[in-house]
A and B are shown apart, each in its own frame.
Chain A
């Protein structure tokens, strides 16, 4: 009897937390589809005002160029980060040596460095290279992370050495082993890494805001601009928030499993 009550309480608790987690996103949908007056009156059901809100939003911000910039940055970062970090993780594990371990220990310290500590000198470096307003300046500081290197190192640990030996006997070059043996076998690690890097790049706000000063906007910057002005149309603001959120939510639902594996993957033994 008591056990049943405890078990029932568990469902109540989980339901409350789940509702709390979903509600702000539900409200985002409500606000994006309702008139401002109805939102203020506390509308809780979807409305029919999405098209109007969308027009108001477009009049306030150039959303689609921002969308394009964000996609370019997110895809560029993902491509370079996966290539550079996976080959490094593979290198650390397969050609293991004591000096490489020492280097890894040094690189891991970068994980502890808050971005606030590097953003000002980075800004100076890129401005002296005349790379302000250049999307490569957004991409470069985020492509190589100890976290990703560790993630690929962990996965290289489970890569059978027999395959490497066999490939060497068949005369495959070392780089060929990486691209033709490791890369196809580790598809799930790449999928996990891809979701993490893509989401982080898409959602990054502070660094693009510093380096893309005026000419180019990313989605989070455009969305943020909507509340900086005089516009107080919640419908239009939430339409922009919705458009900014859709790509990552889609990635989330498509790759939910690999996303979860990805964020915990590098710490699992």
Chain B
């Protein structure tokens, strides 16, 4: 009797639990999973308006690999990924381990200063960097005053220097953000390990490579996945800092999708195809990173 009553009570609780998580789950299915399915169906069609769309199967996917602009924007995005993410994560780890040491003074000021760029919107910092690196901007002014340059240099008019400006801007915006993750992981490491290592004669460098780096591994994996995901979605910087130019030399994949879908002559099915290729790339990279992370 008692037992039966307990079962119905837990059954009731189970049901209430489902009701509690229903709104959030429905929203994710409606606003994320359903669009993915819809996007895939759309990518199998061709035509500019819903009325004129015809089914073309995988023809859009065949077209994509001959699309020089798409390949260029993929290349650009991967250059940002391969150059910026490792530098940023290394810098973030070094900064976090410096800020974590007990004898450091002014810790709060350093942490606040380095973390501050996180509070700035992506559009705002893109415009700040655009202005700093403008032809008549402050960077040129300083370089000329210092005698390094003799005349104003158009940073954003050269594919390489424009990419460098974007990478510098990205480092500025995101290093502090990642540093906070490492700092919180370091604070969970027992400080006595370092004291023991010091007694055993380990210097700062070997403490870093032997203790800090291995213990941070899960956090490195997490931040690497997050940064990769973020880099593959870059839009605001490309759109506002360089406008993708010169030509499409700095344009990111998301920017290209936006341009294909909503600017000039909008082509939603083809843009949807590009989105799908990005989705697959993100999934493959995430799986690879998790695999690599597990092995080590």
Contacts and interface: CB of A to CB of B under 8 A. Distances in A.
Contact of B282 (A96, A114, A149): A114
A145 B25 CA distance: 9
Contacts of B18: 91, 95, 100
Interface residues of A, number: 92
A25 to B, nearest CB: 7
A140 B30 CA distance: 10
Given A6-B204, A118-B35, A260-B180, A227 B130 contact: yes
Given A120-B275, A174-B13, A205-B235, A245 B38 contact: no
A190 interface: no
Interface string B21-42: 1011101100111111011001
A117 interface: yes
B39 A118 contact: yes
Given A42-B145, A202-B121, A95 B272 contact: no
A48 interface: no
B87 interface: no
Contact of B27 (A117, A143, A223): A143
Contacts of A261: 184
B120 interface: yes
A120 B229 contact: no
B272 A121 contact: yes
B252 to A, nearest CB: 9
B131 A31 contact: yes
Interface in A61-108: 84-85, 87-88, 90-92, 94-97, 100, 103, 107
Contacts of B38: 121, 124-125
Nearest to A223: B123
Given A140-B27, A206-B254, A220 B104 contact: no
A199 interface: yes
A107 B22 CA distance: 12
A124 B34 CA distance: 12
Interface string A196-215: 00010011011000100000
B16 interface: yes
The dominant DSSP class at the B interface is helix
A118 B268 contact: no
Interface in A140-164: 140-141, 143-146, 149
A224 interface: yes
A24 B288 CA distance: 36
Contacts of A122: 31, 35
Interface residues of B, number: 92
A183 interface: no
B249 interface: no
Contacts of B132: 24, 27
A97 B109 CA distance: 45
A112 to B, nearest CB: 5
Nearest to A143: B27
Contacts of A226: 127
B17 A100 contact: yes
Given A140-B27, A146-B28, A237-B127, A118 B36 contact: yes
Contact of B24 (A6, A94, A149): A149
A41 B141 contact: yes
A185 interface: no
A145 B118 CA distance: 20
Given A42-B142, A120-B272, A244 B124 contact: yes
B282 A263 contact: no
Interface string B92-135: 00010011010110000110111111111111110111111000
Contacts of A181: none
Given A122-B35, A125-B35, A178-B20, A144 B27 contact: yes
B181 interface: yes
B85 interface: no
A263 B118 CA distance: 11
Interface stretch (B54-62, B63-71, B255-263): B255-263
B254 A144 contact: no
A103 B258 CA distance: 32
Interface of B: 13-14, 16-21, 23-25, 27-28, 31-36, 38-39, 42, 91, 95, 98-99, 101, 103-104, 109-110, 112-125, 127-132, 136, 138, 141-142, 145, 172, 175-177, 180-181, 183-185, 188, 204, 219, 222, 229, 232-233, 235-236, 239-240, 253-254, 257-258, 261-262, 268, 271-272, 275-276, 278-279, 282-283, 286
30 contacts: A10-B98, A15-B110, A17-B110, A20-B172, A24-B128, A24-B172, A42-B138, A85-B24, A87-B24, A92-B17, A100-B17, A113-B36, A119-B275, A120-B271, A123-B261, A124-B268, A141-B32, A144-B23, A174-B16, A175-B16, A205-B236, A206-B254, A237-B131, A241-B127, A244-B121, A245-B120, A249-B116, A252-B116, A264-B184, A269-B188
Given A24-B128, A88-B21, 17 more contacts: A19-B113, A22-B113, A114-B233, A114-B275, A115-B254, A117-B36, A117-B278, A120-B275, A140-B27, A144-B25, A149-B21, A205-B236, A224-B127, A238-B128, A238-B131, A241-B128, A264-B184
